[in-house]
Amino acid sequence: MPQLSQSIVVSPPAGVPQSVTDWVTSIAELTKPDTVHWCDGSLAERDQLYAQMVDSGMFVELNQDKRPGCYLARSAPSDVARVESRTFICSENPDDAGPTNNWANPTTMRETLHRVFEGSMRGRTMYVIPFSMGPLGGPISKLGIEITDSPYVVVSMRMMTRMGTPALERINAGEYWVPAVHSVGCPLIDEAGNRHAEVAWPCNDDKYICHFPETREIWSYGSGYGGNALLGKKCYALRIASVLARDEDWLAEHMLILRVTRESDGRQFHLTAAFPSACGKTNLAMLRPTIPGWKVETIGDDIAWMRPGRDGRLYAINPEAGFFGVAPGTSEKTNPTALHALDHDTIFTNVALTDDGDVWWEGMTKQPPSHLIDWQGNDWTPTSGRPAAHPNSRFTVHAGQAESIAPDWEAPQGVPVDAILFGGRRSRTVPLISEAYDWNHGVFVGATVSSRQTAAAEGAVGALRRDPFAMLPFCGYNMADYWAHWLKMGELLGDQAPLIFQVNWFRRDADDHFLWPGFGDNSRAIEWALRRVAGEVPAVDAISGRLPASGDLNIDGLDLPAERLAMLFALDPDAWDEEADLSEEYFAQFGDRVPAELRRQLEALRTRITEARQPESSKNLVTA
């Protein structure tokens, strides 16, 4: 029986420093895999893993005539989304994690992790994945090594990051890297030496997604899904990177990056936008304007790393190399660009399988097929009374496959940011678009974002929750300190700081129907924001910020009666008063760590509410 003991040889490739070998050896000694494989990132390696996963039942090969290079994975029903309740920030001091994070004592957590990782890879291969977040060698990019026992993680990391030998060579040359350890927690050989049958989706009911901000380490156990397991994404590029960014004067954000070019004069604008999980980042990143004169190119759909450049402006890169996007709702109507990107070389997880070996999900077509195999592998018909695809089913695809990708999306220095958008799912209160009065007001707007919860994480879907900067589940330190960091960045950027806007595509009428068509028509709101950046249009001061003046929002060709347009911008002082009370309550839990400036912003908001109540105030009406 293959038994890895103290004598394990991890056989590193030539040039690997002793410190890296020692770390990999220590993890192998702890987890006791059968073999250790150093990933080179080659096509041959990928194809070998694909074949092995088809063999083991983890992958279903899709119809290769219809979807060449495409596979379907079905996860365990207990492992379908991020697990926020099992995500921990293990800082020395609990106050450094803050009230919105789960804190765990680092010493105790290390003991727990040691216990659960002990022998957790028995009978499996341990993969060593060197990767770069951001273009290799770029001034904003950073390296990491993920150790995992999941081949699904290996092939996903190959699409989502720059993975393999070139990244390892930079580590060999002595560049900084972050260690990340992952196990699905499902050994194939038990302690007594008995071998168990492989399952389609190995995982463990006990889950730990742990971050050590002081030592900058990631340890993840028990889940093989998405952000729990692809550790370059939320664990590194947001939770650990937000800590690095705080210490090094940059920003690691849950934001898409977009370039919009005005065809009349060729002027380019760059936007970033923070929306909570499953609230439209991928859709906006691939926007197809319904108004003439604008061209949109995609740079990123989920994460932005932003740094002041030598010219004093803020520059953004996409640290990822692929999209891990929400499948349901993706259609020829809502996001044709994403749909077309999935024609080939895509990994689908938890979508439905058609009788001819293709994929389907809710919203892909108006008429569902008459028969499907659902995401759990069961027969499904339109009368089954349950979704065929899991609401958090996803596609994993290389970013270069999107026809909207900017030709220079991998430019290592990034793109200069002109405007930053904050948004969420709000049925009432928040207008379609509103410009912050200045950077500090924008930080207040970001800090007070609320949104209806989606299926991207476990929990009550539909419940309204605070999600400041769309970073609630992703900020690696005290959220109030994070707000202070944003205020400080505003000081550093001075008058070169991007303009900040709040948007809401999700406002509803009394019958609960969306007031705004959304998707491609969001270009209309973007156009107004960019004309503000260019200093070409005036704006009207209001409670929430500055609104478009009458007639400035382009609604040509839109079937939007004047009263519905007015409803999209209606600002009810009573509702805003309630909002201000809730913000004050929310801030209270952070005690005196809340920056004084945000309290001043709250007072300024209350003053604007009082002013709006004056009978002569007729400010808040936007009309065509």
Report the catalytic residues. Answer: 279
Is residue 579 involved in binding Mn ion (CB under 5 A)?
no
Residue 519 binds which entry of ligand SPV, Mn ion, ligand GTP, none, CB below 5-8 Å type-dependent: ligand GTP
Among 41, 138, 224, 280, binds ligand GTP (CB under 6 A): 280
CB of 324 to ligand SPV, least distance (A): 5
CB of 125 to ligand GTP, least distance (A): 29
Is residue 226 involved in binding ligand SPV (CB under 6 A)?
yes
Is residue 590 involved in binding ligand SPV (CB under 6 A)?
no
Closer of 8 and 555 to ligand GTP (Cβ): 555
Q: Contact region for Mn ion (CB under 5 A) — 269-277, 446-454, 525-533, 537-545?
A: 269-277
CB of 512 to ligand GTP, least distance (A): 12
Phi, psi of 314 (to 5 degrees): -90, 125
Residue 522 binds which entry of ligand SPV, ligand GTP, Mn ion, none, CB below 5-8 Å type-dependent: ligand GTP
Q: Contact region for ligand SPV (CB under 6 A) — 123-131, 177-185, 226-234, 551-559?
A: 226-234
Q: Which residue has the tokens 């569902």?
A: 368
Task: Let me know: does 152 contact 182? Beta carbons within 8 Å.
Answer: no
Q: Which residue has the tokens 């560049």?
A: 175
CB of 329 to ligand GTP, least distance (A): 3
Give Rg (Cα) of the chain: 24
Calpha distance 141→132 (Å, rounded): 7
Residue 431 binds which entry of ligand GTP, ligand SPV, Mn ion, none, CB below 5-8 Å type-dependent: none
Among 140, 456, 565, 594, binds ligand SPV (CB under 6 A): 456
Q: Tell me, what amino acid is at 616?
A: E
Closer of 270 and 394 to Mn ion (Cβ): 394
Is residue 233 involved in binding ligand SPV (CB under 6 A)?
yes
Q: Is the dihedral of CA 561, 451, 498, 587 positive or negative?
A: positive
Task: Let me know: does 378 contact 306? Beta carbons within 8 Å.
Answer: no
Burial class (CB in 10 A: 0-12, 13-18, 19+), 14: exposed
One character per residue 316-335, x = contact with ligand SPV (rule: CB under 6 A): --------x-----------
Q: Contact region for ligand GTP (CB under 6 A) — 159-167, 233-241, 275-283, 307-315?
A: 275-283
Is residue 297 involved in binding Mn ion (CB under 5 A)?
no
Q: Two tokens at 466?
A: 């605070």
Is residue 374 involved in binding ligand SPV (CB under 6 A)?
no
Among 32, 67, 74, 82, binds ligand SPV (CB under 6 A): 82
Calpha distance 218→204 (Å, rounded): 18
Task: Let me know: does 178 contact 240? Beta carbons within 8 Å.
Answer: yes
Q: Which residue has the tokens 């008459």?
A: 370
Residue 116: CB atoms within 10 A of its CB come to 18
Phi, psi of 621 (to 5 degrees): -105, 120
By CB under 6 A, the count of residues binding ligand GTP is 21
Closer of 227 and 391 to ligand SPV (Cβ): 227
Which of 433, 422, 580 has the alpha carbon at shortest distance from 507? 433
Q: Two tokens at 316?
A: 């953004």
CB of 271 to ligand GTP, least distance (A): 14
Closer of 301 and 358 to ligand GTP (Cβ): 301
Calpha distance 443→430 (Å, rounded): 16
Q: Reduce the secondary structure of 238-295 to three states and give it as a string.
A: HHHHHHHHHHHCCEEECCEEEEEEECCCCCEEEEEEECCCCCCHHHHHCCCCCCCCEE
Which residues contact ligand GTP (rule: CB under 6 A)? 275, 277-283, 301-302, 325-326, 329, 334, 456, 505-506, 514, 518-519, 522
